[in-house]
Amino acid sequence: MSDPSLPVVRLRPKSRARDIRHGHPWAYADDLVLDRRTRALPPGSLAVLEDSERNPLGLVAVNPASKIAARLLDRDSSAEVGPAWFAARLSRAQELRARLYPTPHYRLVHAEADGLPGVVIDRFGEAAVIQPNAAWADRLIEPLTEALVELTGVETVVMNGMARARRLEGLENAARLLRGVLDGPVEVPMNGAVYLADLMGGQKTGLYYDQRDNHAFAARLAGGGRVLDVFSHVGGFALAALVAGATEALAIDGSQAALDLAARGAEASGVADRLTTRRADAFEALAAIGGEGARFDLVICDPPAFAPSRQALERGLRAYERLARLAAPLVSGGGFLVLCSCSHAADLTRFSAASIRGIGRAGRAAQLLHVGFAGPDHPQLPQLAESGYLKALFFRLD
């Protein structure tokens, strides 16, 4: 039985009712009957979603100003979203991560795939960072935080509201401390290295847990060799490679703050004498290094999303091709090239094709050794292609 106090929003005839019944979590603006009453709902309002025949489909969060006009929260349209509801979702998410990781350093909630649409929570031991990237989560940040603290026992909770997705929801960018104290960057053990994560001012939540397994695979290729880590952030690939036995690593990034954290992580990992950092534009740096004739046994390029939307797809694919063309000549014969994409719009087929074109244009032949994805703390919702965004291609070049 639906809650009679909640507003009702309805799908248009021949819209996405079947997809939603089969597990798709979104209804787009052109799927809904956006009459005056629905348009007047404040962003993040809870409502009952019905199909065009007035059959209830579940409880949704509505944002009439967003392209994603309704996000499915619960198939039970009478569900009450509060601390107990949040605790049930968080408990299920934590149970999975506890099976996967020996220490509490992981992505605890991966949005729709964990039943909390638009919500990302990364855990850093006794601290956690919440990204409320949808209007409903922004409105209900307090009961979400209350449930998080009660369930996990974390002492510090940060709200990092700086993601691009918030602008699409009509939300302001903001970062604030919700619970506890934060004295500075926190240490995060991962793959034998120690990383420094800036939870308040760093990119995303301060660290990219999604690359953990790809860091580990790259480290297996790095022993005894020279490493170039481009778009290195806080040294993700470089530090993992150095603790695995790489002789030296050069980390390149556009952010000096991130490179400073990489250097501190190298100190904490006992490899500071083998890490060099350089602040530079990645494309300019690759061209300059190529001109110098330098060669590396392992080159990794892990850029930000070049194709964050369908409108940017072709431009983004050209950028991935160019990156591969500039990076491939820097790989020693028999060495390895790792190319990554976190673009939702560029699927694996398109990204692979662009990368292979770039390697070919550089005059190199390649073997594809491995295709990596986000780790299991970033589960995919099978009905939502966007939840499987990360791709990592591992090539051996002749």
* Residues designated catalytic: 342
Cα–Cα distance list, 275 to 10, 248, 266, 293 (Å): 57, 6, 7, 20
Cβ–Cβ < 8 Å for 394, 369: yes
The count of other CB atoms within 10 Å of the CB of residue 12 is 15
**3-state class (DSSP) for residue 109:** strand
Q: Phi/psi zone of residue 370: left (φ > 0), alpha (ψ -120 to 50 degrees), beta?
A: beta
Centroid of chain to Cα 205: 9
What secondary structure does DSSP assign to 305-363, as a single string?
Answer: -S-SSGGGHHHHHHHHHHHHHHHGGGEEEEEEEEEEE--SSS-HHHHHHHHHHHHHHTT
**Which residues, other chains included, contact 311 with Cβ-Cβ below 8 Å and sequence gap of 6+?**
none
Instruction: Please give the backbone phi and psi of residue 247, each rounded to the nearest 5 degrees, phi first.
Output: -75, -35
Name the DSSP letter for residue 81. Answer: -
What secondary structure does DSSP assign to 161-208, as a single string?
Answer: E--HHHHHTTPPPEEEEEES---S-EEEEETTEEEEE-TTTSSTTSS-
- CA-CA distance, 232 to 221, in Å (whole number)? 17
Helix intervals (H) in 280-312: 282-292
Q: Residue 227's beta-bridge partner residues? A: 249, 298
- CA-CA distance, 199 to 157, in Å (whole number)? 9
Is 369 exposed, middle or buried (CB count within 10 Å of its CB: 0-12, 13-18, 19+)?
A: middle
